[in-house]
């Protein structure tokens, strides 16, 4: 399969045109099988740098590398037919200069087939967003709680309460004017999300930012309940797969220890069934 996105897939302009319309449905994915499951239901599939915490057990997203994003991006690409695929630019791959950002974003697009990249930051990143978008790289911005700045914030705290809301409004206006085609608003109060959504012409995609946004995104493993020890307020769990997997694995362990698995139907005989007049060998 070619690395480029299928021509039938949604494009960044399609997503931008959904401003104020039916809310955009977005989830993360990091692997081919999960990409295949989410694709028919989603408008956007994000290969988020949350992959570092979710799949690799890292304490934050800070040590996620460009090579990791490329490897997971390639895996997700193989599972998508319709959704717009966006890949996160990891910490350290874009902040130094617009030229560094272009070089690494171009690598992400060429090697994964994604149609756009996402990067964190507001006013301070507007110049870089303008540099990328004017050179053929569609950019989704990410403001509010930007997890790559966790050390600056002193934790994964709600951003933009009270006076601090003005800074985030300025961020939103700056990235929209710079040419971003959409923006993730993470962990901000509902009133602020509503104001920004009304003030800018591009879709806002909320995570912990209320239904006032133009779309929603969640980490797929969070909404599927893969973790028993991680329950943020903004995540609605649509399944308890972690618990279901634990029950299934306990059953397997019991069966193996008690020699109930493998049973007769899982075992190969000496003479293939087809030769012996049976159906499958």
Give the residues lining the site for ligand KIV (CB under 6 A): 28, 46, 48-50, 88, 142, 184, 207, 217, 219
Cβ-proximal residue to ligand KIV, closest one: 48
CB 52 to ligand KIV: min, Å: 9
| Helix, coil or strand: residue 172 | helix
Contact 223, 240 (CB under 8 A): no
Q: For residue 77, give every residue at least 6 positions away whose Cβ sits within 8 Å of its Cβ, in sequence order, or none.
A: 1, 3, 5, 35, 85, 112, 113, 114
| Helix, coil or strand: residue 121 | strand
Of the pair 72, 195, the CB lying nearest ligand KIV is at 72
- Of 106, 167, 110, 93, which is closest to residue 135 (Cα–Cα)? 106
Q: For residue 270, give every residue at least 6 positions away whose Cβ sits within 8 Å of its Cβ, in sequence order, or none.
A: none
Torsion of CA 221, 222, 225, 230, to 10 degrees: 120
Q: For residue 275, give every residue at least 6 positions away whose Cβ sits within 8 Å of its Cβ, in sequence order, or none.
A: 281
Contact 5, 117 (CB under 8 A): no
CB 247 to ligand KIV: min, Å: 28
Of the pair 132, 213, the CB lying nearest ligand KIV is at 213
Q: Which residue of the set 96, 123, 177, 186 is catalytic?
A: 186
CB 261 to ligand KIV: min, Å: 37
| Helix, coil or strand: residue 167 | helix
Of the pair 232, 272, the CB lying nearest ligand KIV is at 232
CB 279 to ligand KIV: min, Å: 46
Of the pair 4, 237, the CB lying nearest ligand KIV is at 237
Contact 130, 178 (CB under 8 A): yes
CB 147 to ligand KIV: min, Å: 7
Of the pair 4, 63, the CB lying nearest ligand KIV is at 63
186 is catalytic: yes
Q: Which residues are catalytic?
A: 186
């Amino acid at each position: 399969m070619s690395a480029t996105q299928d021509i039938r897939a949604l494009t960044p302009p399609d997503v931008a045109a959904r401003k104020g319309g039916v809310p955009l449905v977005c989830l993360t994915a990091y692997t081919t099988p999960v990409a295949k499951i989410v694709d028919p239901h989603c408008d956007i599939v994000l290969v988020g740098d949350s992959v570092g915490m979710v799949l690799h057990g890292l304490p934050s997203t800070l040590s996620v590398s460009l090579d990791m994003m490329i490897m997971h991006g390639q895996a997700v690409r193989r599972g998508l037919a319709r959704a717009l695929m966006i890949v996160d630019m990891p910490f350290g791959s874009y902040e130094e200069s617009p030229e560094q950002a272009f070089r690494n974003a171009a690598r992400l697009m060429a090697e994964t087939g994604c149609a756009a990249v996402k990067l964190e930051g507001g006013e301070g990143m507007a110049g870089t967003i303008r540099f990328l978008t004017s050179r053929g790289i569609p950019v989704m911005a990410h403001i509010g709680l930007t997890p790559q700045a966790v050390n600056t914030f002193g934790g994964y705290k709600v951003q933009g309460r009270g006076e601090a809301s003005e800074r985030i409004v300025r961020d939103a206006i700056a990235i929209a004017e710079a040419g971003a085609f959409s923006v993730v608003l993470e962990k901000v109060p509902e009133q602020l999300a509503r104001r920004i959504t009304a003030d800018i012409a591009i879709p806002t995609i909320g995570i912990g930012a209320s239904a006032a946004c133009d779309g929603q995104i969640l980490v797929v493993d969070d909404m599927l309940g893969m973790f028993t020890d991680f329950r943020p307020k903004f995540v609605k769990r649509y399944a308890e797969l972690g618990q279901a997997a634990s029950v299934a694995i306990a059953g397997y362990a019991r069966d193996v220890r008690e020699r109930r698995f493998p049973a007769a139907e899982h075992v190969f005989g000496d003479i293939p069934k087809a030769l012996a007049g049976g159906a499958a060998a």
